[in-house]
Structure 1
Amino acid sequence: MAAPILALQDARVTFGGGDLFNQISLGIEPGMRIALVGRNGSGKSTLLKAIAGDIELDGGERFVQAGIRVGYLRQHPEIVSGRSVFEQVSLGISPELKVDGSDLGYLVDQVLDGVGIDGDRLLETLSGGEARRVSLAEALVSDPDVLLLDEPTNHLDIKTILWLEDELKAFRGALMIISHDRQFLKNLTNRLFWLDRGVLRTHGKGFSAFEEWSEEILRAEEVETRKLDKRIAEETDWSRKGITARRARNEGRLRALYRMREERAQRTSRIGNAKLTVSAGEKSGKTVIEATEISKSFKVTDGTEVQVIRNFSTRVMRGDRVGIIGQNGAGKTTLLKILIGQLEPDTGSVKLGTNLTPAIFDQQRESLDPDESLWDTLADPGSGQLLVRGEVRHVVAYLRDFLFEEKQAKSPVKSLSGGEKNRLLLAKLLARESNLLVLDEPTNDLDMETLDLLQDMLANYEGTLLVISHDRYFLDQLVTSVIAVEENGNVSEYVGGYTDYLRQREVTEETSRISQKKVPAPENKPKQPRKKLSYKDQRDLDRLPDVLEDLENKISKLEAEMADPDLFKNNPDKFQKVMETLSARKEEYEAAEERLLELEILQEELTANS
């Protein structure tokens, strides 16, 4: 194991009179590409700031190996009016590089050339995606050995996210990333740091292993909690049956009972999940939206006209789930507004179906009054009640479903974070029945657990869904078709999710390239059909049933070990090893099972053709 180049030892940070986290120790080694995960509010960004040296620790130590440079991409880029892009990126040059007093402007020029931003531009003229690129340039300008990234994909379009992925794949140093973009983390990480209720857990695999690993840990904790609850109940019952007669002899046992009660009271309960449900209400007509040859243009600042939609037609039927994608500024929201009748097309027509009850989540949160309290945003001010899909609920109880505390009910909307505002808007939206749900960037600033719940809720929604999103995983898990708003007003629709869109677009582009070459296709001699499996395929077909049986036995034994409620408490290292081995065996089993299925299908086809 290599020595860490950056480390924290027993780190403690306090917030609001209590510890946000305490006794956190970690080490970053060369080659590590770490996903730092945890719930919103768990302290991830604060921990990243502590690792970066951006804040002082309230306890413990931070160690950085001599000569190691650290780059840090903050969650919210700093925009200083009047400052140029060149000046901003220059701030990221490490002091170690400035010792000889030489002009290091060439470093800034090189990195700006890489991110594609003009150094003479002023920060206030940048779009959100451009500002993110400038912040990345500032973090990269000193060619850091460790790069810390806090929500690097926030508010970026898919094209920019893919560009960023490529940049980070080529980065030679160590990485630590906070992100709610699952696909981004899966593609880039090989280690896991999980900050959960003030405790940091680590795992030797990347983010793709997180779900199974975290579930195993939480299941073990639940067993321990139930065991402790049972002991407390037994000891309480004992204490009621004659404690007086045995007081002198059993004071130690009673003190132990009180300690257990205190432990139970102080044990930080797992943070709840938002309870997201939505009712589709009364059915709409079979055809929800029919757009025919629609086009839309806008005049830009220099007076020229830009066409964002050109001759696009689509038909959305009841129950469809349509994802809309494209670069920032391409015209996604414009298209969405035209489809739901909020904006007229320049040419073409849009016909809305009958009996539509829409509910609309707007990206700018315009339906939220920043000076209004959460209470007044949702409920009747006098009664404190609201109607949630036909059921009368108290506003505080309903706010708790969306992870808000009771004390926040009277706070103004403007006091909320971006993620909290999104949750409030979802609470307002989901309180009403609808049969057409329209969501413009609903996933921004939401933590993974809330994203999962939103995804599950939408998957069970019986109405029609239109959603703009840059989250590839979210789209893959949810939508039935993708509308891509591309350059020069070209808009196309593809069946399936984001991955299906990529595959279909690739085929379309390849077909187009072949047709443009205008080269006559060579005469292909028909291939002789295979009559039997190859030697390797036949060997695999023969041996895989035994392999699967062996793996089943191994998995059963490992699961039996995991079922021991004392294993985690008595031997956490063994628990971790057993859990990692179990995960590996399950992956082997799935791969072998898939291979066997492929071979059985191939054998059936060969038999049928022979």
Structure 2
Amino acid sequence: MAPPILKLDNIFLSFGGTPLLAGADMQVEPGDRICLVGRNGSGKSTLLKIAAGFVEPQSGEVFRHPSATIRYLEQAPDFAGFATVRAYAEAGLGPSDDPYRVTYLLSHLGLTGDEDPKNLSGGEARRAALTRVLAPEPDILLLDEPTNHLDLPTIEWLEGELQKSRSALVVISHDRRFLERVSTATIWLDRGFSRRLDRGFGAFEAWRDEVLEAEEVEQHKLGKAIEREEHWLRYGVTARRKRNMRRLGDLQTMRSQYRGHRGPQGTVLATVTEGQESGKLVIEAERIEKSFGDRQIIAPFSIRVHRGDRIGLVGPNGAGKTTLLQLLTGSLQPDAGTIKLGTNLEIATLDQKREDLDTDDTLANYLTDGRGETLIVNGEQRHVTGYLKDFLFQPEQARTPIRNLSGGERARMMLARMLARPSNLLILDEPTNDLDIETLDLLQEIVAGYAGTVILVSHDRDFLDRTVTSTIAPAVPEAPDGRWIEYAGGYSDMLAQRKGAAAERKKAEKAEPAKQTETASASNAKGKGKLSYKQKFALDNLPLQMAENEKKIAALEEKMADPNLFSRDPNSFNRIAGDLEKLRTDLARMEEEWLELEMLREELEG
């Protein structure tokens, strides 16, 4: 085993009250790929800052190999003192590092380097910070939420970059798919202590559940042992005759352990407040278009959204996801085409633009809109502190200014406000940012079980696969040109359908020489004044084949019209969608072939 290049041993840190870290350990060896997981507020970011040397623990040992280089990606990078992004990125290089590496990373992350750091968006700031920490190719990379504000193409590029990197890695992220692909070990930070699993994140959740179940069994056994000892103390003959001081001491120790036991952090107890039922047709868009200057963001696009649909919007930053969302909800008017909204719509929106929040406002005031101490949730009046407890906030936090909340706490606060509003149409813009895995699970259940309609924008592939029934994406994701396509199913289903369509195009390209030969034969037949036997046979039989295809398509479309098919049997849904796509392609090919032959026949007969 290689010696560690970073080691944290028995780290203790408290800000008053319950310790944040009460004996946490972390050991990093060359080549390690560690994901650091835990509930919001468990101390993950603090432990990473201790490892980077930005925070000092109150006790415990920290060892960093003297020759090891460490780079830390913080959630809010400081650009003060830098005129350009390139200057900021190059400041992270060491004397022997290659400056060309900065150019390479800026190019792949969609930056020129000449941008003014003061004018960067959230996504651009994250890309600049990634360039700075990746460029030196350090011995250890400490990454805190590296995928926040990044689009899917950039996240997938980053996965590949980290997989081929020689740096040891410790990463905090809410993105399940990202963690599964980059990690080979997991450190779980829970109630101030750390546990290590020498397997990637894919094995974590099953292992965590086993640990918690075993802990519950042990706590139950301890309770029973205390009951037996107390019975002996009260009723045992030996106890009345002569007190056994050792047993009394053991009993006191057991009582102390039992009372001092901190169970795992509770789960969010959230339910959505559903409004009146909307009309069956929620949104109908007919050939809508939108341009800004010379750039077309939305080419002619049509869609019908029905009650119960759950639609995901994906694509690179700047492709026009937010614009399309605003058009579909009526908050932005199209340049051409029509948008028709259904009846009885009650819209609840989760907007992740937290810069719009009044950070001086308190949690209670934000949740009640300044209307006192209570709010109505699902038709019942709730006191704001009781409602906050459902989202894992302490009663004293009701008067806390929003500026004092962590990113995860702000995300839970915004989720609490949205779910309290009666709705039948949920609009979720990046809802997964900063939520821990457990709260993400709950949000997934809420979205999947919602009786109304959901339209969401997300870069979280796992969340999309678990929730949506269709996915809207740019026709050309590498270079969006305003054309959008709706695919059946989640993100993985979209990729599979794109792959199938690409395979069909490749097949068609290979068949082109044969088609040219057939055209030449048709020309020869034209010169001779009659169709060949093969052409006559095709002309007579193609209408029968097309009619049979149309029957099959109608039968499959009827099955796809079932709004509960995807949630009930996603495998059948995906299979039917694939079969339907193939039948439609075959029908289009047969129609084109028949039309060419029919035109040739008319020419010859004329």
Question: Within the alignment, does 1:307 sit opposite 2:296 as a pair?
Answer: yes
Residue 330 (structure 1) aligns with: 319
* Displacement after TM superposition at 1:521 (Å): 4.3
Q: Is the 8 A contact 1:360 1:438 kept in 2?
A: yes
* Displacement after TM superposition at 1:231 (Å): 2.7
**Residue 371 of structure 1 is aligned with which of 360, 363, 372?**
360
TM-score (norm 1): 0.78
Change over 3 Å in CA distance of 1:130–1:284 after alignment to 2: same
* Displacement after TM superposition at 1:12 (Å): 2.8
Q: Is the 8 A contact 2:40 2:409 kept in 1?
A: no
* Displacement after TM superposition at 1:241 (Å): 5.3
Change over 3 Å in CA distance of 1:283–1:515 after alignment to 2: same
In structure 2, stretches of 5+ residues that fail to align are 518-606
What does residue range 112-261 of structure 1 map to in structure 2 within 5 Å?
A: 112-113=106-107, 115-236=109-230, 239=233, 246=240, 249-261=243-255
Structure 2 distance, partners of 1:381, 1:117, is: 42
Q: Is the 8 A contact 1:82 1:124 kept in 2?
A: no
Structure 1 distance, partners of 2:306, 2:106, is: 46
Change over 3 Å in CA distance of 1:167–1:512 after alignment to 2: same
Structure 1 distance, partners of 2:392, 2:416, is: 10
Q: Which has the larger radius of gyration?
A: 2
Residue 10 (structure 1) aligns with: 10
What does residue range 397-436 of structure 1 map to in structure 2 within 5 Å?
A: 397-436=386-425
TM-score (norm 2): 0.79
Secondary structure of 1:175 counterpart = strand
Change over 3 Å in CA distance of 1:259–1:381 after alignment to 2: farther
* Displacement after TM superposition at 1:366 (Å): 8.3
Residue 80 (structure 1) aligns with: 80
Between stretches 494-503 and 18-27, larger displacement belongs to 18-27
Structure 1 distance, partners of 2:199, 2:446, is: 30
Q: Is the 8 A contact 2:365 2:371 kept in 1?
A: no
Q: Is the 8 A contact 2:377 2:420 kept in 1?
A: yes
Structure 2 distance, partners of 1:354, 1:366, is: 33
* 2:432 alignment partner AA: T
Structure 2 distance, partners of 1:333, 1:106, is: 35
Q: Is the 8 A contact 1:368 1:425 kept in 2?
A: no
Q: Is the 8 A contact 1:380 1:386 kept in 2?
A: no
Structure 2 distance, partners of 1:30, 1:292, is: 57
Between stretches 318-327 and 485-494, larger displacement belongs to 485-494
1:271-306 residue CA offsets vs partner (Å, 9 max, x unmatched): 11111211433322211111110111124xxxxx32
Residue 540 (structure 2) aligns with: none
Secondary structure of 1:409 counterpart = helix
Secondary structure of 1:153 counterpart = coil
Change over 3 Å in CA distance of 1:82–1:157 after alignment to 2: same
Question: How many pairs were matched up?
Answer: 512
Residue 51 (structure 1) aligns with: 51
Secondary structure of 1:326 counterpart = coil
Structure 1 distance, partners of 2:356, 2:77, is: 26
* Displacement after TM superposition at 1:474 (Å): 0.1
Change over 3 Å in CA distance of 1:404–1:325 after alignment to 2: same
Structure 1 distance, partners of 2:512, 2:370, is: 73
* 2:265 alignment partner AA: I
Question: Within the alignment, does 1:360 sit opposite 2:354 as a pair?
Answer: no
Change over 3 Å in CA distance of 1:230–1:385 after alignment to 2: farther
Change over 3 Å in CA distance of 1:107–1:454 after alignment to 2: closer
Q: Is the 8 A contact 1:479 1:497 kept in 2?
A: yes
Residue 473 (structure 1) aligns with: 462
* 1:146 alignment partner AA: I
Structure 1 distance, partners of 2:357, 2:68, is: 46
Structure 2 distance, partners of 1:282, 1:382, is: 24
Q: Is the 8 A contact 2:24 2:189 kept in 1?
A: no
Residue 33 (structure 2) aligns with: 33
Q: Is the 8 A contact 1:81 1:124 kept in 2?
A: no
Secondary structure of 2:513 counterpart = coil
Change over 3 Å in CA distance of 1:26–1:134 after alignment to 2: same
Q: Is the 8 A contact 1:296 1:347 kept in 2?
A: yes
Secondary structure of 1:494 counterpart = strand
Structure 2 distance, partners of 1:403, 1:515, is: 57
Secondary structure of 2:376 counterpart = strand
Paired-residue identity, %: 51
Structure 2 distance, partners of 1:232, 1:341, is: 64
* Displacement after TM superposition at 1:455 (Å): 0.5
* 2:495 alignment partner AA: L
Secondary structure of 2:243 counterpart = helix
Secondary structure of 1:124 counterpart = helix
Structure 1 distance, partners of 2:237, 2:389, is: 41
* Displacement after TM superposition at 1:63 (Å): 2.3
* Displacement after TM superposition at 1:164 (Å): 0.8
Residue 261 (structure 2) aligns with: 267
Change over 3 Å in CA distance of 1:367–1:140 after alignment to 2: closer
Structure 1 distance, partners of 2:125, 2:358, is: 27
Change over 3 Å in CA distance of 1:235–1:390 after alignment to 2: farther
Change over 3 Å in CA distance of 1:61–1:501 after alignment to 2: same
* Displacement after TM superposition at 1:110 (Å): 5.0
Secondary structure of 2:169 counterpart = strand
Structure 1 distance, partners of 2:84, 2:369, is: 48
Residue 65 (structure 1) aligns with: 65
Cα RMSD for the two superposed structures:
2.7
Residue 288 (structure 1) aligns with: 282
* Displacement after TM superposition at 1:240 (Å): 5.4
**Residue 492 of structure 1 is aligned with which of 485, 489, 494?**
485
Secondary structure of 2:314 counterpart = strand
Secondary structure of 2:211 counterpart = helix
